[in-house]
Structure 1
Amino acid sequence: MKRHIPNFFTSLNLFSGCIATVMAFHGNFFMVVVWVIIAAIFDFSDGFSARLLKAYSPMGKELDSLSDMVSFGVAPSVAVFTFLIKNLPLITQNELIQQYLPYMAFLLAIFSALRLAKFNVDKRQSEAFIGLNTPANALFWVSFCYGLTHNVHLTPTLMYIFLVAILVFSSLMVSEIPMFSLKVKSFKLKGNEYRYFLIVAVIVLVSVFKILGIAAGILLYITLAIIDSRNHQIQQAD
């Protein structure tokens, strides 16, 4: 019985991702954020329960990736697609661009699939990540779409930045940049400085900026991961 518990959580992750995708098509960005967060909780729970119960299985690994593809690949891509459909008229009146450029959003889905496939065959990523993980990418985009829709005055410049960010984040997911995970071997401060700082900073950012603070927290995570990677390279060189 216990070997099915991780797969149960994985199935709930998939279910949450399906609902998030439906909400994204309707342009309900708040509920997209809610359901992607719920999916992320279930995604964490399946891995945690698998380690706790030692209930690993090849099927569970494949099911996890397929579920993540929906929750953290398709759902955020649809959210970005819907956002662009609604807001591209801010930067152009060209009907062809307005009609076809939103499909650029699905680069995020394509690179999420590449990222997940790479993760499954990359033996280096058992304790840390190589490249931006898909839950972090998804949380950035769904919270960013919500924040730009409700808390920020959209300008043409901001829309151009948004489009460039799609390319940047797509590249980050398949990059060779080492990025720490939130898994801890111990709760001691030493070795977990960046993790604890990130957790406290995200709490502060969300308290101040609400949902947009999640996107800011992901940007901080990427920055800290790059700094941490650079420090490790310097230490190894010495």
Structure 2
Amino acid sequence: MKKHIPNLFTCLNLFSGCIACTMAFQGEYFWVVFFVILGSIFDFFDGFMARLLKAYSDIGKELDSLADLVSFGVAPSLIVFHYITSALGAESALHSLQNILPYFAFVLTIFSALRLAKFNIDTRQTTSFIGLPTPANALFWISLCYGLNEKFVASDTIVYIIIVLIVIFSLLMVSEIPMFSLKVKNLKLKGNELKYLLIIFCIAAIAIWQIMGIAATIIFYIALTLVSYKKVKE
């Protein structure tokens, strides 16, 4: 019985991702954020329960990737698609591309799939990550789109920035850059300095920028990783 418990959490992750997708179709940005975050919580607990119960299985590994692709690949792409579509209104100079440009959002889905496939066959990623994890990528996009929709007037400049960010984040997901994991084996400061620093920044960012603070936290996470990676190489 216990071997099915991690898979239950994985299925709840998938279910949350499916709801997030339907919310994205309806332009319900807040609920996309809510259900993707909920999916990421379930994603954390499926791995946690698998380790706690020693209930590892090949089907669990494959199911986890399939669930992640929906929750952290398709759902964020759909909200980006919706935002770009709504931004390319009649007054936009890019209005003629309204039936083409929004589909570029699904490049994120493609690279999320590549990232997950790479993770499944890469034995180096047991205690840390190689490349940007798909949940981090998803959290960035859903919080960014929510913030842009709530606090900024849509413009062609923002669309251009989103296109550039899609390219950057897609490449980060399949990059060879080592990125630290948030899995905590103990609560000691030594060895967890980067994790605690990220948590402190996250709390401050959300207090200042609300949901958009999540996107700022992911940017900070990437910056911390790049700085630490550069120091290691030196």
Contact 2:6/2:47 (8 A) holds in 1: yes
- Counterpart of 1:92 in structure 2 is 93
- Counterpart of 1:6 in structure 2 is 6
Instruction: Answer yes or no: is 1:216 the counterpart of 2:220.
Output: no
- 1: distance between equivalents of 2:9 and 2:158? 38
- Counterpart of 1:108 in structure 2 is 108
Amino acid at match of 2:93: T
CA deviation digits over 1:204-237, x for unaligned, max 9? 1001100000000110001001111112222xxx
- 2: distance between equivalents of 1:93 and 1:111? 25
Contact 1:92/1:98 (8 A) holds in 2: no
Amino acid at match of 1:123: T
* RMSD, aligned CA: 1.1
Shift in alpha-carbon separation, 1:61–1:93, aligned structure 2, 3 A? closer
Contact 2:94/2:156 (8 A) holds in 1: no
> Post-superposition shift, 1:158?
2.3
- 1: distance between equivalents of 2:95 and 2:15? 38
Contact 2:88/2:95 (8 A) holds in 1: no
Of all paired residues, the percent bearing the same amino acid is 59
- Counterpart of 2:202 in structure 1 is 202
CA deviation digits over 1:173-226, x for unaligned, max 9? 000111001012322111111110000110110011000000001100010011
SS of 1:124's partner is coil
TM-score by length of 2: 0.97
Instruction: Answer yes or no: is 1:122 the counterpart of 2:140.
Output: no
Shift in alpha-carbon separation, 1:66–1:193, aligned structure 2, 3 A? same
TM-score by length of 1: 0.95
> Post-superposition shift, 1:105?
0.3
Q: State how 1:148-187 maps to structure 2 within 5 Å.
A: 148-187=148-187
Instruction: Answer yes or no: is 1:131 the counterpart of 2:139.
Output: no
Task: For structure 2, list consecutive stretches of 5 or more residues without a partner in the other structure.
Answer: none
Contact 1:16/1:38 (8 A) holds in 2: yes
Contact 2:87/2:155 (8 A) holds in 1: no
Contact 1:29/1:146 (8 A) holds in 2: yes
CA deviation digits over 1:115-149, x for unaligned, max 9? 00000000110110000000000000011000000
> Post-superposition shift, 1:18?
0.1
- 2: distance between equivalents of 1:136 and 1:25? 22
Amino acid at match of 2:71: S
SS of 1:108's partner is helix
- 1: distance between equivalents of 2:122 and 2:212? 32
CA deviation digits over 1:48-107, x for unaligned, max 9? 000000000000000000000000000001111111110023642542x11111000000
- 2: distance between equivalents of 1:116 and 1:56? 18
Structure 1 residue runs of 4 or more that deviate by more than 4 Å after TM superposition: none
Q: State how 1:11-160 maps to structure 2 within 5 Å.
A: 11-89=11-89, 91-95=92-96, 97-160=97-160
- 2: distance between equivalents of 1:38 and 1:157? 32
Shift in alpha-carbon separation, 1:94–1:147, aligned structure 2, 3 A? closer
- 1: distance between equivalents of 2:28 and 2:11? 23
- Counterpart of 2:232 in structure 1 is 232
